Amino acid sequence: MGEIIGRLEKKGFKLTALKMFTPPASLAEEHYKDLSAKPFFKDLVSYICSGPVVAMVWEGDGVVASARLLIGATNPLAAAPGTIRGDFAVQTGRNVVHGSDSPDNGEREAGLWFGGEGRVAWTRAVEPWLVE
Which residues share a beta bridge with 53?
Answer: 21
The C-alpha atoms of residue 39 and residue 96 are separated, in whole angstroms, by 20
Catalytic residue among 98, 108, 118, 119: 98
| Known catalytic membership, residue 98 | yes
Paired with 55 in beta bridges are: 19
In sequence order, which residues have a C-beta less than 8 Å from that of residue 31 and are 6 or more positions away? 48, 109, 112, 113
> Hey, is 128 helix, strand or coil?
helix
Phi, psi of 126 (to 5 degrees): -90, 0
The CA-atom distances, in angstroms, between 94 and each of 48, 57, 76, 125 are 10, 21, 9, 36
Active centre residues (catalytic)? 98
